[in-house]
Structure 1
Amino acid sequence: MPDKNPHLNNSTPVAVMDLGTNTFHLLIAEMQGDEIKEIHHETEAVKLGEGGINKNIIQPEAFDRGIAAMHKFAKTIEEHKTQKVHAIATSALRNASNGKDFISEVKKQTGLQIKIINGDREATYIYEGIKASGCLSKSPSLIMDIGGGSVEFIICDHHQIYWKHSFEIGAARLMDKFHQQDPIPAASVTDLCKYLDEKLPLLFDAVKAYNLTSLIGSSGAFESFAEVIETEKGHKFNLKTTPTYQFKPGELLQLISRLQVSSHQQRAETKGIIPVRVDMIVVAALITRYMMQQLKLDDVIMSTYSLKEGVMVGMLT
C-alpha cells in the first residue's frame, strides 16, 4: 500500500461520484489503518443516454433524472461531512452536445463540480480500481469494462498497464442499434458481431503481442452474471463481500445463451439482475461471449472494483 495522502486525515471520509451513461454511483470511504473502508455506496439508475445516446444529446427527461440524482448525492455528501469530493463524468457527458449545460446546472443547483475525463484517463482509473481488488497477477490479462456509452480495454498485469483504449461501443449504444426487438433476433446478433469486427481491429492487433491468460470483467453486467449463477445454485451471494469472482466457463456461456433468447419479462423476473440492467445485459452478454471466442479465453474473472474505486485509491493513498 502506498503512503497515505498527507493532506487527508485518516478518519475523514472522501466521496467519489462515477457519473456514467446508465447509472450514477456515489462512494464514500475513509482510511482505516492501511485499508480503505467503504462507508456508503448508492446507485441511481438515471439512464442519461436514454433516447439520445447515438444522437449525442441528453434528452430532457434524462437530464432531469440526472439533476435529481445529483441533488440526492449532494445531501448525502453533506450528511457525511466529507473532506474531499470528486465527481467524474464519462462517455454520455463527454459526447453530449448539452453535456456542458448539465454540468453548469449541477454546479448552479448543488455546488458540485463535475469533471469530464477522456477515455484514456477512464481506462487508467479502471485499472487502478481492479488492481486494488487483488485479481491481477504477474501474467498479462485483458480488462473489459462495459459501460453504457463506451467499453474500455486494458492489457495489464499487477505491475503495469501495457496498452489501453476506450471504444464508443457501450451497451446503451449497441442496444439502440441492434436490440430493437425482444428477444433479440439471430440476424441482429450476427450484425452485432460484424460491427464489433469492424470496430475492434486496434484491440486485436494489440493483443497479438501478449500471451493473455484471463479476461477480467469490471463490475456492471459481470456482477449480474455472477449473482444469477450463484443464486440459481441456492447460494447466498453478497457483492459487498465478494470483490472478485471466478467464473466456470460452461456456466457463464450457458447463461449468456439463455440471456440471448430471453424476453424482457423473463430477465426482469430473474433474481440477480437489477432493474437498470434488465435490457442492456443482453448486448453486454453478447460482447462478453464475442471476446471469449475471439481471444480463445475461458478464464473469466469478475471484479466489483472499477473506476470509482480507482479514483478513491488515488484520493486516500
Structure 2
Amino acid sequence: MRWRVRPIVAGWRITHRDLSTMAHPSIDSFPMIAAIDLGSNSFHMVLAKADHGEIRILERLGDKVQLAAGLDDERMLSEEAMQRGLDCLRRFAQLTANLPEGAVRIVGTNALREARNRAEFIRRAEELLSHQVEVISGREEARLIYLGVSHSIADTPGKRLVTDIGGGSTEFIIGQRFEPLLRESLQMGCVSFTQRFFRDGKITPARYAQAYTAARLEIMGIEHALRRLGWEDAVGASGTIKAIGLAIQAAGLGSGEVNAEGLAWLKRKLFKIGETDKLDLDGIKPDRRAIFPAGLAILEAIFDACAIERMSHSEGALREGVLYDLMGRHQHEDVRERTLSSLMERYHVDLEQASRVESKALSALDKVAGDWQLQEDWHRELLSWAAKVHEVGLDIAHYQYHKHGAYLIEHSDLAGFSRQDQQMLALLVRGHRRNIPKDKFAEFGADGIKLIRLCVLLRFAILFHHIRGGQEMPQVQLLAREQSLEIVFPDNWLEANPLTQADFVREADWLKRVGIELSVR
C-alpha cells in the first residue's frame, strides 16, 4: 500500500529553517522508518519506507497488551502488566534495533500518562528498543490521530468529527482537510471501563447503563463545543469502532459502518448473551470480547451526545499519524516550530530579542559541544526552543517571569511536543535567570548535567544581549572544561562596558551553586 504524503497542515509551510532542523538527514536516506504506539489496550508498530514523498507500508504488528488493566488504585503498573508490554516490545525490537536515530518514533498514551512508575517501564522499554520513548498528552494524541486519519481517507472539503476509543482515553477531533480545529481527550476507555463496570465478565442492563451514564457525563464537558463547531462526517479510528462496525455488518444491518440501528441491536444481543466469555459474534475477535461491552457503551454515549446517525471507519490512526509527523520533521514541516511561533505570538514575545538570543546560544553551543558532550540533535533543538520562548512569562508579570514562563510551557498543550520535551523546555526557561534549581535538573538522571550545561549557554546568550540591540556586540571566545566555562572578550571591552561586566560577575556566583566555575576576561 502506498500513501501520498500531503501537507501536514493545509496551506502552511515553515519558512524559518534553523540549524537544528537543517541538521536532520533526509528521511529518504533511512533504510526504513517506524512508528510504535504504546496504547492502553494494544501496542502497535508500523514499519514503512519513505520514497520521494511517499510512504509505503512494509509491516504492521500489534498485540493486545492491556497495559491499563495493570494499573492499581494507586496508579502503579503491576510487574505482570509491564512484562506483557516488554514481551511485545521484544518482538518489535527485532525490526527497530538496527534503524538509525531519527528513523523511529515511539509514543506512550493514557496508561503511561497515568502510571506513577512509568519511568521504570520506559527505562526497560528503551533498553530493548534502543530508541527513546515519549509519553504524549491527550491533546497531542488527538492531533496525531487526526493526522493519521486525514492521510488515510478521501480529501473532502467539509469538516469531519474523528473519534478514537482507546483503552484508557477517548479522543475527539473536529478538523477540516488536514487541519485539526478542536482537539479533546477524555478519561474513558474500553479497558478502564471494563475494570470499573464489567470486571467479572457479567453483562447486565444495570451495569451497561452505569457505563453509558459515566461516558455521557464525561462527554458533557465538551458536548457544547463539539456541536457549536459542527461537522459533516463522523469517522471512527480505533479497533473498538471497527469491531462494532464488523459485528453490525455480520448481522446484515450495515456495510462496515456504525449506525444507530446496529448499536441498538448489538446492545440487545449483549443483554441476551449475558457474559463476555460467551460473546461469540462474527466480527469480534476472541481477544476483544472482554472489553467489547465497555466499548459499545462508550460509543452509544458518543452517538447520543453528538446526535450521530452514521460513523465510517478509518484504518489510519495514531501510529500512522506518528509516521507522517516523523516525515514532517525531516521535511522542514515540523509542527513544533509552528507551535512555538503561536506561543510567542500569544504571549507577545519580543521576536527580535528572541532571535538574537537564539543565534548567540547556538553559536556558543558550536564552540563547546565537543567538550561538554552536547552533540546530539536534541541538544541543539532544545536550546533553540528555549531561546525562542524564554520570555513568554513576561506577559504575565515581570516579577519572577521565568517561573511564570516555565509553568505556561509545562502545562500548556503544545502540539508536537512530548511531555518530557515540555518538562525539559520548561526547566531551561525556569533556570534562565537567577537561581538554577539543581534538584529539578537532577530528576533527569544522566541527562541532568547536560541540561544544566544547555541552561548555562542560554544564560550566557541572554546576558550577552542584555542591552537589547542597543550596541554592537564583540566576538568572544568560549573555552569549556567539564566543570568550568571561560569567556574571553576583546581587550578592554569589558572595562568600557561595566553593565555587561557586572552581569557576568553576578553570573559567576549563580553558576558556582551548580558546580560550574565561570571566568570572564
What TM-score, normalized to structure 1? 0.86
Contact 1:229 1:251 in 2 (8 A): yes
Q: SS at 1:143's partner residue?
A: strand
Q: Deviations over 1:271-316 (max 9, x none)?
A: 4222331111211111111211222211211111100000111223
Gaps of 5+ in 2: 9-23, 329-521
2:96 is aligned with 1:77: yes
SS across alignment from 2:90:
helix
Instruction: Report the Cα offset of residue 86 of structure 1.
Output: 0.8
Structure number with bigger Rg:
2
Q: Counterparts of 1:107-256 in structure 2 under 5 Å?
A: 107-135=126-154, 137-231=156-250, 246-256=257-267
Corresponding residue for 2:300? 289
Q: What is the CA–CA distance in structure 1 between the aligned matches of 2:98 and 2:305, rounded to whole Å?
A: 48
Q: CA deviation at 1:158?
A: 1.5
Greater relative contact order (Cα 8 A, min sep 6): structure 1 or 2? 1
Residue identity matched to 2:278: Q
Task: Determine helix, strand or coil for the equivalent of 1:180.
Answer: coil
- Aligned-pair CA distance for 1:173: 1.3
Higher helix share: 2
Residue 45 (structure 1) aligned with residue 47 (structure 2): no
Q: Which amino acid aligns with 1:108?
A: E
Pair 136,182 (structure 1): closer, same or farther in 2 beyond 3 Å: farther
Q: Does 1:266 align with 2:285?
A: no
Aligned equivalents of 2:91, 2:141: Cα separation in 1 = 24
Superposition deviation, residue 155 in structure 1? 1.5
- Distance in 1, matches of 2:258 and 2:188, equals 24
Distance 1:193 1:247 in 2: 17
Check 1:246–1:230 CA distance in 2 against 1; reply closer, same or farther (3 A cut): closer
Structure 2 matches for 1:72-111, cutoff 5 A?
72-78=91-97, 84-111=103-130
Distance 1:139 1:152 in 2: 20
Letter in 1 for 2:79: P
Does the C-alpha gap of structure 1 residues 9 and 34 become closer, same or farther in structure 2, counting only changes over 3 Å?
closer
**Residue 32 of structure 1, CA deviation:** 4.2
Spell out, residue by residue over 1:139-177, the C-alpha distance to the aligned partner (whole angstroms, 9 max, x if none).
322211111111111122214222111111111111111
Cα 1:78–1:134, aligned 2, differ >3 Å: closer, same or farther?
same
- My pick for the range that moved more, 8-17 or 150-159, is 8-17
Question: 1:213, 1:257 → 2: CA distance?
Answer: 29
**Which string of whole-angstrom CA distances, capped at 9 and with x for unpartnered residues, describes residues 247-287 of structure 1?**
454335423442454322332x3342223311112111111
Question: How far apart, CA to CA, are the structure 2 residues paired with 1:55 and 1:275?
Answer: 30
The amino acid that maps onto 2:176 is: D
Offset at residue 61 of structure 1 (A): 0.8
Q: Aligned in 2, Cα 1:165/1:51: closer, same or farther, shift over 3 Å?
A: same
Q: What's the Cα RMSD here?
A: 2.7
User: Residue type of the partner of 1:315?
Assistant: L
What SS is found at the alignment partner of 1:169? coil
Cα distance, 1:229–1:209 mapped onto 2, change above 3 Å = closer
Q: Which amino acid aligns with 2:306?
A: L
Number of corresponding residues: 307
> TM-score scaled by structure 2?
0.54
- Residues 30 and 253 of structure 1: CA distance in aligned 2, closer, same or farther (over 3 Å): farther
> C-alpha distance in 2, partners of 1:297/1:3?
29
Distance in 2 (CA, whole Å) between partners of 1:136 and 1:56 is: 41
Conserved 8 A contact 1:217-1:301: yes
